[in-house]
Amino acid sequence: MTDRIPWDQYFMSQSMLLAMRSTCTRLSVGATIVREKRVISGGYNGSVSGDVHCSEHGCYLIDGHCARTVHAEMNALLQCAKFGVKTEGADIYITHFPCLQCTKTIIQSGIRKIFFLKNYHNHSYALKLLEQANIKVEQVAVPEDLFQNIGDYYKADLTSDIRDS
């Protein structure tokens, strides 16, 4: 029998995979929204639908920020809005601690807990707002070899003979 990864690592791994879809050249971020151990939405940072991608045309910087990019958290929350999925009481798993704007949007959306993998400009005002809103924040550790273990799992599975079952 194999060991199962904890739920937090499972959902954070999904955010890590989503980050691999990012078209941002500055930072790849993924976000997964979960309610009652079910994924209800996911997003990654990239251009608005129909616009060119930073990975192909470069960043469109205004005041040091890329104006072209929609953040992963926003994309995940907007998917919920677009398809009528309630976010009240859900959790969000993000590869990087949210920026101030995303923090405010997360608070307004009714998310109850933020799980993050990496620190990223943790703004003191964002931390204050999260505390005032009583939103729990937890850093999740994902083993560096997790995706290697997935590869090993499939290699073992592919080499076993179906008649051995």
Pairing of strands 46-47, 61-62: unpaired
Encoded tokens for 164: 């051995």
Residue 133 CA to residue 126 CA, distance in Å, equals: 11
Q: How many whole angstroms separate alpha carbon 46 and alpha carbon 24? A: 6
Q: Is 99 annotated as a binding residue?
A: yes
131 is annotated as an active-site residue: no
Residue 102 counted as an annotated binding residue: yes
The answer to whether 59 and 101 have CB atoms below 8 angstroms apart is no
123: annotated binding-site residue? no
Q: Which residue out of 56, 73, 131, 138 is catalytically annotated?
A: 73
Specify the DSSP element, H or E, that contains 44.
strand 38-44
Per DSSP, what are the bridge partners of residue 137? Answer: 114
Where is the binding site for Zn(2+), in residues?
71, 99, 102
Question: What residues are annotated to the active site?
Answer: 73
Where is the binding site, in residues?
71, 99, 102
